[in-house]
Amino acid sequence: MVQSKMKKIKKRRRFIAFLCFLVLIGFLLYWIFRKEDYTITYTENDFQIEETYSTEENSYSFLLKKEDREYFTVLFDRHFFSDHLIYQVEEFTTDTESCVVLSSQKIRFMPLCLANEEQVSFHLVSQEMKEQIGISDEAFGQSVDMTYNNISISNTLYHTFYVWNYRGFYRINADTQEEITLFQKDIYTPNLLTKVGDYLFIPDYEANYYFQKAYLLNMKTGEVETWSMPNSIYFDSIVLGVYEDSLYLVDRHESVEWQIDVSNRQMTKVSTSEGGITYQNGFVDVSMNRLMYQDNSFQGVLPITYQIQDGLKYTYKDYSIQLLYNSPKSIVSYDMDWVYYLVDDSLYAYSLDYGEIFLMKYFEWNFNFTNVVFIY
């Protein structure tokens, strides 16, 4: 009996020692291979290359300089244990354009191009230059050819689109087209309708002056849940932005700022008598007067932006890339890799890799184009 207990104790001790050994090995491996911020400079083919890694953004940025020419690119969500990632640079030129093709054992780079000394997407360069760099525009996405409720659909990019139809949504993807009806009367200005994580937050627009009920549309499934909110909100409120699956909203009638956690169905008052907060590359305190009467929309939630400015531009810090020469009517949404925008009554997507892709066309977008398309 005693021997049996001793065996169990020894076995338990060996198991604990083994676990401690694994923890120690894991800790050592973490310290050996953990990534730290760095900036290095090296030369390849007469180009000076400044390579930077940011742990905060999990990004690599590259600035290439040669004489009076500069090329820039940034790549997100990458992690390598080595540096000096570019081993060859080839440059191609015409009278008004120049492009570089970068070679790396770790990364597939798109060509970086200049036109009239401005960095542009390689999709904008001449056919002559495209032939020099050996690039042709590639198709992407799930091409379709169908019409649903007067919406002509060409490509869904493997996404689901929620198109506002005044009383609810048309839910559209390559396999499903259906209508989700929420209201009995037409709603033309759904200003507070907001995408928050996997949900659409939709106020009860059939209420008068203020609402204390909202519809939560699960964008993954298309299912709708009614949420009886613990506090009411007036319709003259302003949406500041979304951060980590919470909507931040200022009720101008009540001089109150709310954090609305949609996934957990919670409301938290985040303002005081002195003011509230907004996100400007981090949360900052703002007076209530400024929140209610000046534009304090969230800025800097993502490290990149897309701007309608003499066309469409992709911007990271002090660097920008011209994507389009003609300006869209409005930007619908964007993330790190894609931007979605309206031109007249047509919805397009653009990526640095694949260029511009026509998605769908809906005549109503000629007249109403604010909060009319949501993409999942």
Average pLDDT for 145-173: 97
186-211 mean pLDDT: 97
Statement: the pTM of the whole predicted model exceeds 0.85: yes
User: For 116-275, where are the alpha helices, taking DSSP H only?
Assistant: 127-133
Q: What is the pLDDT of residue 29?
A: 47
For residue 106, what are the CA distances in angstroms to 30, 61, 85, 102, 304?
21, 14, 7, 11, 23
- Given pLDDT bands bounded at 50, 70 and 90, which one contains residue 220? very high
Separation between Cα atoms, residue 121 and residue 100, nearest integer Å: 12
CB-CB contact of 101 with 110 (8 Å): no
Q: Residue 307: pLDDT above 70?
A: yes
Give the bridge partners for 283, in sequence order. 279
Amino acid at 244: E
Q: Which amino acid is at 87?
A: Y
Q: What percent of the chain has pLDDT over 90?
A: 86
* Helices and strands, number each (H, E), in the chain: 3, 31
Question: What is the model's pLDDT at position 303?
Answer: 96
For the record, the structure tokens of 223 come out as 């299912």
Long-range contacts of 85-92 (CB under 8 A, 24+ apart): 85/51, 85/60, 86/44, 86/49, 86/51, 86/62, 87/44, 88/44, 88/45, 89/44, 89/45, 89/47, 89/49, 89/64, 90/45, 91/45, 91/47, 91/66, 92/129, 92/132, 92/133
Q: What is the DSSP letter of 12?
A: H
- What tens digit of pLDDT does each residue of 343-359 get? 999 999 999 999 999 99
pLDDT band at 7 (very low <50, low <70, confident <90, very high): low
| pLDDT at 30 (0 to 100) | 43
The angle at the Cα of 128, spanning 122 to 130, to the nearest 5 degrees, equals: 30
The SS3 of residue 20 is helix
* Interatomic CA distance for residues 107 and 85, integer angstroms: 8
Tens-place pLDDT, residues 47-88 = 999 999 999 999 999 999 999 999 999 999 988 988 999 999
What's the confidence (pLDDT) of residue 31?
Answer: 45
DSSP letter assigned to residue 100: E
- Mean of the per-residue pLDDT values of the chain: 92
Interval 179-192: pLDDT, tens:
999 999 999 999 99
Residue 236 has pLDDT above 70, yes or no: yes
Output the CA–CA distances (angstroms, integers) from residue 162 to 85, 179, 194, in the order listed.
Answer: 41, 9, 12
Residue 97 has pLDDT above 90, yes or no: yes
In whole angstroms, how far apart are CA 153 and each of 49, 146, 369?
Answer: 44, 5, 17
Query: Given a cut of 70, is residue 32 above it in pLDDT?
Result: no
Cα separation, 202 vs 226, whole angstroms: 10
Round to whole Å and give the CA distance between 354 and 374.
Answer: 21
Mean pLDDT on 8-29: 59
